[in-house]
Chain A
Amino acid sequence: MIIAQQKPIKDIAAMVSDCRKVALIGCAGCVTVCLSGGEKETEILASAMRMMRRLEGKPLETVTFTATRQCDPEYVDALEGLVKDVDAVISLACGVGVQYLAERFDKWVVPALNTNFIGGSRVHGVWEEKCGLCGDCILHKTGGICPIIRCSKSILNGPCGGSQYGKCEISKDVDCAWQLIYDRMKKLGRLDKLMEIQPAKDWSTSRDGGPRRAVREDVMIG
């Protein structure tokens, strides 16, 4: 899922300091799971902002709603009536949701979250980055451990000389991805696979090719 975290409330409040009525729109997708922009977080933010503004002597009226997904036009369309008479829309979705709202409505749309990475939850309350969205997955060559995002240098024939006692040279708290890959391949009895030298990766499938688009003709309607 996409992992995002809320911006400091003062920063969010500053973006709408000149507004009298705002809609806070949560998203029931990834940001609900990573506890940053679901129904609960939306209501907490709304309540906190109302109190903040009352203390400033500039009361803020809020409307809250949690969309099924903000990254899907059909759910964004449904928000029309809700945002009609607000001065601004605060989106608690990832950057994708914010953009879908901004594209759809002629409104001042602002982000309440910082979109951090795609990953998963290690334990409740701890999320970690797992994929760098390279567009040409090579996990079958690396024992299911991504060297693109989990190796600080994204090297394909690791480890580098900085790998020490299983840790990456950037920090003693970060595992060396290539040590993990080696250990895993050894356990699987596939060390021979690591002997193949990986050629330079074609990054055109990644961000180097500009913004990407995926199309599935067979599921398109109309």
Chain B
Amino acid sequence: MRLQYSPNVRIVEMTCSGNIDHRVILNAFEEGADGVFVAGCMEGDCHFLKGNIRAKKRVHAVKKLLDEIGIGGERLEMYNLSSAQGSRFAEIADEMTARIRELGPNPLTGVGAACCGCSKEGGAK
């Protein structure tokens, strides 16, 4: 099955959607992504039982934070589909692309420094 979907979508593979960290999503936006969607397995089908349910809760929390800081939570979405649903994936990619086109580019685009300004110093483990 060779399906066409919007070429602007970049895939970041994770071992399980439950492995998604708030920081991964925030980093994508800080680095200029216009939108992010998390594609987890169908609810009830998680190999690790609840990974996708946890992902959903985290996505919800990050949406809230994005609203608070002015990026806009609607730029982030969680979808559930099985790895056998290639055409559904293409559909979601197109759907999300259309939504983001409507919203326009990441509001950070063109403002502030090219570098995000972070400086991380490790820390206690």
Q: Which residues of A contact B (CB under 8 A)?
A: 8-10, 26, 28, 39-40, 42-44, 46-55, 57, 59-68, 75, 82
Asked if A65 contacts B30 (CB within 8 A), the reply is no
CA distance A168 to B125 in the complex (A): 41
CA distance A60 to B115 in the complex (A): 11
Q: What A residues does B69 contact at CB under 8 A?
A: 9, 48-49, 51-52, 55
> Is the C-beta of B7 less than 8 angstroms from some C-beta in chain A?
no
The residue on B at minimum CB distance from A43 is: B23
**Chain B interface mostly helix, strand, loop or mixed?**
mixed
Asked if B124 contacts A59 (CB within 8 A), the reply is no
CA distance A59 to B123 in the complex (A): 24
B117 touches which one: A9, A60, A66 (CB < 8 A)? Answer: A60
**Interface pairs (25), CB distance under 8 Å:** A9-B68, A28-B125, A42-B123, A43-B23, A46-B118, A47-B26, A48-B65, A48-B69, A50-B116, A50-B117, A51-B29, A52-B69, A54-B108, A55-B108, A55-B111, A61-B119, A63-B119, A63-B120, A64-B118, A64-B120, A64-B123, A65-B122, A65-B123, A67-B123, A67-B124
Contacts A54-B111, A55-B108, A55-B111 given; indicate if A61 touches B68 (C-beta within 8 A).
Answer: no
Beyond the given A40-B23, A47-B26, A55-B108, please list 19 additional residue pairs across the A-B interface where CB-CB is below 8 A.
A9-B68, A10-B68, A28-B124, A39-B124, A39-B125, A44-B22, A47-B23, A48-B65, A48-B69, A50-B118, A54-B113, A55-B69, A55-B71, A59-B112, A59-B113, A61-B119, A64-B121, A67-B123, A75-B124
A61 touches which one: B71, B117, B121 (CB < 8 A)? Answer: B117
Asked if A39 contacts B123 (CB within 8 A), the reply is yes
CA distance A28 to B124 in the complex (A): 6
Interface size class, chain B: 20 to 34
Q: Which chain B residues in 43-77 approach chain A with CB under 8 Å?
A: 65, 68-71
Q: Which residues of B contact A (CB under 8 A)?
A: 21-23, 26-27, 29-30, 65, 68-71, 107-108, 111-113, 116-125
Separation in Å of the B104 CB from the closest CB of chain A?
Answer: 14
Separation in Å of the A213 CB from the closest CB of chain B?
Answer: 27
